[in-house]
Amino acid sequence: MEIKVYGSGCKKCVSLADNAKAAVEDLGVDAEIEKVEDMAEIAQAGIMSTPGLGINGDVKVKGRVPNADEIKELIEAEL
Amino acid sequence: MIKGFADLVVYNWLNFSPETHFGEAVHFFVYDTVKIMLLLSVMIFVISIIRSFFQPERVKKLLSGKKLFVGNTIASFLGVVSPFCSCSTVPIFIGFVESGVPLGVTFSFLITSPIVNEIALVLLYSIFGWQIATLYLVSGVTVGIVGGIVIEYLGLEDYVEEYVYQIEMEEEEIEAMTWEDRIDYAKHQVKDIVGRIWKFVLAGIAIGGLIHGYVPTGALANYAGADNPFAVFVGVLFGIPLYSNAVGTIPIVESLMNKGVAVGTALSFMMATVALSVPQMVILRKVLKPKLIGIFIGIVGVSIIGVGYLFNIVI
């Protein structure tokens, strides 16, 4: 599974990455978390308000920081 | 009611005398802290509900294909209500340009959005009344409209980094929100924003309290009153390094105005704290070439100073 955290590195983006990491560890799934900081790539993914969360190429959340439980549900839906 | 509470805490429980400068400063601090924190929480909640209807994706759709003037005006008003933090400035800029929103219309949005901070607007209303709040709103929106139109007329498309024009964005869906989602979002915003800015607000209130308690009334009228043509300039220069918190500057402005600082000077100072900041320029550098950043600073700076003079003359 491929998980992407989109954001330029502000505090919200860091907490989203932390929550995603916690969710992956809790579920014990095999997933790689990639941080996307390049603005062009962020925009290309269709994200106008950061941070954003992508799972397997789909943007699931943008403009807010979901907690670990919500991310777990999103990951489980993809399994 | 809040004043009664502050009287009770400061004069009865803590036993400060209302006759002393220190007692007066502490009273200002307690009163303003309770008042501003309550107002902030309620207002952020209400405003976030309104904002949940104007996510950037929707704003982009509303603006694409809009002509000059009309487009600038709509963009400038949307800049007031649309939610975004400064780290989203670049993706928003790219998104607008990519979907064919004219550069000047994009700038109207980008200029007004930081200048007119809706939380600052509500606080201004509750502290100074509707006249000053309206002045702040109308002048901020006007600066955005005029700034955007000037940028459009200067034809500066070549000063946007080339890669911006090459990006093709994925067609995004606008997340449908239920009322439950909106209320959740608003609660979250209150926690997030108050959690982030309370330090600045307290620092602002403390400084305001000291000015309130120690500076005699009318002391600043000579230096920063409506008669001094340089005061607006100095206010803007002082405002730039104080970046990030229009809300934190309000208690300072409140006590300065009580001591004789003119309204226009205070407004320019507040606008400069948010609209002309170094971090914002560093972010914009990712999409704009230095010349366009220079023009942006020039237009916004001149407009803010103009607003200051206008209000000092009119009021």
Nearest CB neighbour to A40, from listed B83, B163, B172:
B163
Catalytic annotation on A32?
Answer: no
Contacts of residue B185 in chain A, CB cutoff 8 Å?
Answer: 64
> Order of strands across the sheet with A58-62?
A32-36, A2-6, A52-55, A58-62
Look at A25-34, B147-156, B243-252, B296-305 and tell me which has the smallest mean pLDDT: B243-252
Please indicate whether, in this complex, the C-beta atoms of B94 and A50 are within 8 angstroms of each other: no
**Residue-level pLDDT at B108:** 92
**Residue-level pLDDT at B243:** 60
For chain B, percent of residues with pLDDT exceeding 90: 12
Helix axis angle, B103-115 to B130-154, nearest 10°: 150
Contacts of B314 (CB under 8 A, 6+ apart): none
Closest to A49 measured CA to CA, from A3, A4, A8? A8
Chain B contact probe: residue of A4, A10, A37, A48 with most B CBs at under 10 A:
A48
Please indicate whether, in this complex, the C-beta atoms of A48 and B286 are within 8 angstroms of each other: no
pLDDT averaged over every residue in chain B: 83
**Residue-level pLDDT at B174:** 66
- By the 8 A CB rule, do B272 and B231 touch? no
**Residue A13 forms contact with B (CB below 8 Å):** yes
Structure tokens that stand for B79 in this block: 């800049």
For chain B, percent of residues with pLDDT exceeding 70: 95
**Residue B169 forms contact with A (CB below 8 Å):** yes
Angle CA B15–B17–B20, to nearest 5? 140
Distance of CA B166 to the CA centre of its chain: 32
Q: Where are the alpha helices (DSSP H) in B82-178?
A: 89-98, 103-115, 118-128, 130-154, 162-166
Residues B52-102 have pLDDT tens digits of 888 887 888 888 877 778 999 999 988 888 766 667 788 888 888 888 889
Does the pLDDT of residue B172 top 70, yes or no?
no
Please indicate whether, in this complex, the C-beta atoms of B91 and A59 are within 8 angstroms of each other: no
**Residue-level pLDDT at B183:** 92
* Alpha carbons B13 and B17: distance in angstroms, whole number: 11
* Alpha carbons A49 and B83: distance in angstroms, whole number: 9
Please indicate whether, in this complex, the C-beta atoms of A63 and B88 are within 8 angstroms of each other: yes
**Residue-level pLDDT at B72:** 92
pLDDT band for B175, please (50, 70, 90 cuts).
low
**Residue-level pLDDT at B83:** 65
* Alpha carbons B203 and B220: distance in angstroms, whole number: 21
SS3 B270: helix
Please indicate whether, in this complex, the C-beta atoms of A40 and B98 are within 8 angstroms of each other: no
Q: Higher model confidence: residue B32 or residue B160?
A: B160
Neighbours of B108 (CB within 10 A): 33
Residues B201-211 have pLDDT tens digits of 888 888 888 88
Q: What is the rounded average pLDDT of the residues B16-45?
A: 83
- Give the torsion sign (CA, A63, B137, B145, B270): negative
Residues B109-118 have pLDDT tens digits of 988 888 887 7
**Residue-level pLDDT at B84:** 67
**Residue-level pLDDT at B244:** 57
Return the residue of A nearest to B196 by Cα: A11
Contacts of B37 (CB under 8 A, 6+ apart): B194, B198, B201
Q: Which of residues 18-57 of A touch B (CB under 8 A)?
A: 39-40, 42-50
What length is written for chain A?
Answer: 79
Q: Higher model confidence: residue B133 or residue B243?
A: B133
**Residue-level pLDDT at B245:** 65
Instruction: For residue B126, give the amino acid letter.
Output: S
SS3 A59: strand
pLDDT band for B173, please (50, 70, 90 cuts).
low
pLDDT band for B294, please (50, 70, 90 cuts).
very high
Closest to B184 measured CA to CA, from A49, A66, A10? A66
Distance of CA A21 to the CA centre of its chain: 9
Residues B116-163 have pLDDT tens digits of 877 778 878 877 888 888 988 999 999 999 999 999 999 888 898 888
What length is written for chain B?
Answer: 315
**Residue-level pLDDT at B176:** 77
Instruction: For residue B32, give the amino acid letter.
Output: D
pLDDT band for A5, please (50, 70, 90 cuts).
very high
